Amino acid sequence: MSDIRLVLADDSLIIRAGLARLLEAGGLHVVAEAGDVPELFRAVALEAPDVAIVDIRMPPTHTDEGIRAAGRLRREHPTTAVLVLSQYIETPYAMELLNGRHSHVGYLLKDRVLERVALIGAVRRVHAGEVVVDTALVDALLNTQAVPSALAPLSDREREVLALMAEGLTDRGIADRLNLSPKTVGTHIQHIFDRLGIADSPTDNRRVHAVLSYLQAL
């Protein structure tokens, strides 16, 4: 059992308490809670947690404080992964979060806190350095009939694989979801990299590049 240390930032005490209970029950360790951004930074500076879970709307303006705080956290505390929770999942925020910070970040719908397994999975994945984007965003974008020209070189199957990459699934996860062998998935991913012109570099970065170009294309 890993011992991931967490800081929670949400201006609602009920949410913080409930979240802490769920995460603790899942074997994670909540070391501090914060009601606003300054408290969050104090807690992170003090505890140096592995992951900070940050609500996007926080005092004083209750708009996008969480996104801004996440960017700052990743810059100032690179060892702390950030998972942003939001009432709405908007592409621009996902892109802002991912831009330049190609690892250890996640952007989830707030109601994922009701899916204990998915939530804890996301925490573990950002802790492991992955990029996690809520399936709701990918679903919303996939439901459109528009096929952006940037993604035109991809086949339908490759686009599907790319969407799942954007959700943050591993090769293994994608293979399970699409009932394919991990080897086939690997081939698809290689094709995607080639066709989107993503140069050969450490795999993590290439995956994130692919996800970014996917989001930006849409």
Between 92 and 153, CB nearer to other proteins: 92
Between 19 and 122, CB nearer to other proteins: 19
Between 38 and 59, CB nearer to other proteins: 59
Measured CA to CA, the distance from residue 17 to residue 62 in angstroms comes to 20
Measured CA to CA, the distance from residue 216 to residue 218 in angstroms comes to 5
- Minimum Å gap between C-beta 63 and other proteins is 5
Measured CA to CA, the distance from residue 70 to residue 82 in angstroms comes to 6
- Minimum Å gap between C-beta 25 and other proteins is 5
Binding site for other proteins (CB under 8 A): 12, 14-15, 18-19, 21-22, 25, 57, 62-64, 87-88, 90-93, 110-111, 113-116, 140-141, 143-147, 218
Structure letter (DSSP) for residue 101:
-
Between 115 and 176, CB nearer to other proteins: 115
- Minimum Å gap between C-beta 201 and other proteins is 27
Measured CA to CA, the distance from residue 76 to residue 104 in angstroms comes to 13
Return left, alpha or beta for 27; rule: phi > 0 is left, psi -120 to 50 is alpha, else beta. left
Structure letter (DSSP) for residue 196:
T
